[in-house]
Amino acid sequence: MRTTASTDKTQPVLTRRPRPKNYFWLKVWLLRFVMTVIFFGGWELIVRLNLVNGFFFGQPSRILAEFNSSLADMSLLRHSWVTMSETLIAFVSGVLFGTVCGLLMWFSRVFAVAFYPVLLMFNATPKIALGPMFIIWIGIGFWMKVALGFSLVFVIAWVIAYDATRELDKDLERLLKSLGATRWQVFMKFVVPGTLPWIISAFRLCIGLALTGTVVGEFITANEGLGFLISYASGSYALNLVWMAVFTLMIMSTFLSMAVGWLESKLLRR
């Protein structure tokens, strides 16, 4: 009778080397770079092969030339600075005043319930319809564009701040009142801190609305700014100049969104 002896063989344990922490972001940025090259390279190629007319669609090489010439004479920086200034003023003032008005509605439930439908109706109104009135009241200068951007941000910040007060813990509010806290103390110690996460989380939405309002105002009437540059170039059928201004707006909106996102993360950690 044959017996087989089983022998234990130790298998080597294969350990996987941990990848660097930045390996994921390296792949992300590499993919972004490849997609960008494919997009602009393909665009340039189909224009050079006369598959599309560069006069109507633009051409990346000529757009880059527009960038270089506009940076050389500082006109692009001037137009960008005007739009950036209008956007930041509209954003800060709209968020500040809208938030204050929304929080103050907590003091009067009767007024809040009565006025809230009017606020929603104004929010649903296209703000571009207010452009002619702003021109009559303020003029066609810098502050008209700020006012149009402010009108978009102000209403949204108001609605979000008031909605945040409605989501607070009513039981905790009644407990504070039963312990002898005044309405002002409840407002400062409970309502304001409790609604801050909602208000701060709306910053990124508000900065986009502020930029939209100011650019639309520059479309209506302006002599400087990226919106004016797009309107002027489109009227002259200078598509490469239009694309240059549009790409500049994309870069600006991305920068503002990232800056506001960074501010949100810092404030929400506290």
Please tell me the pTM assigned to this model. Answer: 0.82
CA–CA separation, 242 and 95 (whole Å): 31
CA–CA separation, 101 and 119 (whole Å): 11
Q: Which helix (H) or strand (E) holds 64?
A: helix 60-72
* Domain ranges across the chain: 59-269
Q: What is the CATH number that goes with domain 59-269?
A: 1.10.3720.10
Q: What is the pLDDT along the chain (270 residues), one digit of tens a residue?
A: 444 444 455 555 555 565 666 778 788 889 989 999 999 999 999 988 888 888 888 889 999 998 898 888 888 999 999 999 999 999 999 999 999 999 999 888 888 888 888 888 888 888 888 888 888 888 888 899 999 999 999 999 999 999 899 888 888 888 888 888 888 888 888 888 888 888 888 888 899 899 999 999 898 888 888 999 998 888 888 889 999 999 999 999 999 888 888 888 877 776
Percentages (nearest 5) of helix, strand, coil residues in the chain: 80, 0, 20
